[in-house]
Chain A
């Protein structure tokens, strides 16, 4: 079983719709959680850190469920510019390394 699992997609969603991704992690010692986005042939860029209480940044909402060991990302009123691969990333307590999911490919359709 992979340490961080994501549905690879692709998700093809009409502009303006709401889309949600889930990600599960296997190590209960996980401490920090992040969503990154990566555009084709570009580096990953930090979208948001995921806080225990959940957090919202504009159209983006992230949630953490430690009991079930998953995190989610909700995108409302999707824009064409949201088309990208979304990477679920986990950091374990006492370990500096990040563990990446394989990413979920999202395409927003006009």
Chain B
């Protein structure tokens, strides 16, 4: 399968700070990447679709000014959680879509964010 990296894997920060998470497709180009959030014992929830060279598309209920997404190249998308609060603590996972007949998505290893 294709390889997607995500950095950092774990971050602990104080309330009010901003946290930047990077997602990279290592062996293929991804015009589209996705950002998900997963709370304990719950399924993945799509936050936004990131398109290279254009604005991200956010899901209903996700604040675009709080979760800033930049997809500057075909291999890199970033998610910045601005002014983080304890309720933002979660497992954030990115995925990259590989263009093929089946359009599989491959996931990064995730970033566990803890806001104190």
Binding site for B on A (CB under 8 A): 32, 34, 41-46, 49, 87, 91, 96-98, 100-103
Contacts and interface: CB of A to CB of B under 8 A. Distances in A.
A46 B1 CA distance: 8
Contacts of A100: 43-44
Residue of B105, B106, B112 contacting most chain A CB atoms (<10 Å): B105
A96 B110 contact: no
A42 B38 CA distance: 11
Ordered nearest first, which 10 A-B pairs have the shortest CB separation? A43-B107, A102-B43, A49-B102, A43-B110, A100-B43, A100-B44, A44-B107, A32-B102, A43-B109, A43-B93
A45 B43 CA distance: 14
B11 to A, nearest CB: 15
A96 B95 CA distance: 12
B32 interface: yes
A42 B43 contact: no
Interface residues of B, number: 22
Contacts of A102: 42-43
Nearest to B91: A41
Contacts of B95: 98
17 contacts: A41-B112, A43-B109, A44-B44, A44-B107, A45-B1, A45-B107, A46-B1, A46-B104, A46-B105, A91-B103, A96-B97, A96-B103, A97-B34, A98-B46, A98-B95, A101-B43, A102-B43
Nearest to A50: B102
A32 B100 CA distance: 11
Interface string B70-88: 0000000000000000000
Contacts of A41: 91, 112
B90 to A, nearest CB: 12
A41 to B, nearest CB: 7
Given A97-B34, A101-B43, A42 B110 contact: yes
Interface string B43-65: 11010010000000000000000
Contact of A87 (B43, B102, B106, B108): B43
Residue of B43, B46, B107 contacting most chain A CB atoms (<10 Å): B43
